Amino acid sequence: MSETSTKPYLIRAIYEWCTDNGFTPYIAVFVDANTSVPREFVKNNEIVLNVSFDATSGLDMGNEWITFSARFGGVSRKIDVPVENVLAIYARENGQGMAFPVERSVPETQALTERETNPPPKLASVESTTDEAAPVSASENPASSDSEDDPTPPPVPRIGGKKPSLKVVK
């Protein structure tokens, strides 16, 4: 008998913790061909979804899939997310939650193998024959500063010059 993943159980537990404490549960999802989400909101193959009771309809958090309907720009959309594609679940208000590793799907692994066998061409440096393109050192370039080498941050300017204090309001 194969062992079931703890991931769907942890997702449901954090979802329940969020709702019990009045927080808004969000899930970050890795988007691939198996994921059914509005593609216009996907950035860098990722999307963040509000899975709160108020934002979803028919939410089902199973061991293999998370499915629900949600409105995007006033239009109801059916969302289907494989549990294996969930990157994280967390509370919007304080960021508390849990992140998960996501393994690549088979087509992406095949694409990676193809990239390894057929690497893209490499760039090579070109020798300069003129002095115009000679590199300028930091001491010769007045635009560069030594602040990059200085580990101390710049002082924070104070507004008003007074020490911060609490004001009693009755």
> What is the per-residue pLDDT across 89-112, written as a single tens digit (0 to 9) for each?
999 999 999 999 877 654 544 444
Domain count for the chain, please give it: 1
Angstrom CA distances, 150 to 59, 138, 141, 167, stand at 52, 14, 17, 37
Asked if residue 49 belongs to a domain, the reply is yes
Query: CATH no. for residue 87?
Result: 2.30.30.220
Q: Which tens digit of pLDDT belongs to each residue from 123-166?
A: 566 665 555 545 544 444 444 444 455 566 555 555 555 555 66
For residue 52, being part of any structural domain is answered with yes
Query: What does pTM read for this prediction?
Result: 0.60
pLDDT, one tens digit per residue, over 50-68 is 999 999 999 999 999 999 9
Strands 65-72 and 56-61: antiparallel
Is 60 exceeded by the pLDDT of residue 86?
Answer: yes
In a domain, residue 144? The reply is: no
Cβ(47)–Cβ(29) below 8 Å: yes
Residue 154 covered by a domain:
no
In a domain, 84, yes or no: yes
- Domain annotation covers residue 116: no
Identify the domain containing residue 85 by its residue range. Answer: 24-97
Please say if the pLDDT value at position 17 is more than 90. yes
Please report whether residue 139 resides in a domain.
no
Does residue 136 lie within any of the structural domains?
no
3-state secondary structure of 108: helix
